Amino acid sequence: MQIKYCLPIIKNTKNEILEAIHANINDYHYFEVWVDYVNDLNNKFVEELREFLDEKLIIVFRRQNLETIHLELDKRLKIIDMLDEAQSLIDLDVLTQEDELNHIRDHKLEINTIVSYHNYQMTPEDNILKEIIDTMDEYKPAVYKIATMCTNHKDAIRLLQLLTELKERNSKYILLGMGEFGVATRIFGTLWGNEMIFAPKVLTEQSAPGQLTKDQLEIIFNELKG
- d(Cα 23, Cα 184) in Å, to the nearest integer? 29
| pLDDT, position 226 | 65
| pLDDT, position 140 | 97
Q: Render each residue's pLDDT in the chain as its tens digit; 226 residues.
A: 789 999 999 999 999 999 999 999 999 999 999 999 999 899 999 999 999 999 999 999 999 999 999 999 999 999 999 999 999 999 999 999 999 999 999 999 999 999 999 999 999 999 999 999 999 999 999 999 999 999 999 999 999 999 999 999 999 999 999 999 999 999 999 999 999 999 999 999 999 999 999 999 999 999 988 6
Domains of the chain from N-terminus onward: 5-225 (3.20.20.70)
Rounded to the nearest 5°, which phi and psi values hold at 217? -65, -40
| pLDDT, position 64 | 93
CB atoms within 10 A of CB 56: 20
- Containing H/E element for 165? helix 153-168
CB atoms within 10 A of CB 139: 17
- d(Cα 117, Cα 144) in Å, to the nearest integer? 9
| pLDDT, position 2 | 86
| pLDDT, position 105 | 97
Q: Write down the pTM of the prediction.
A: 0.96
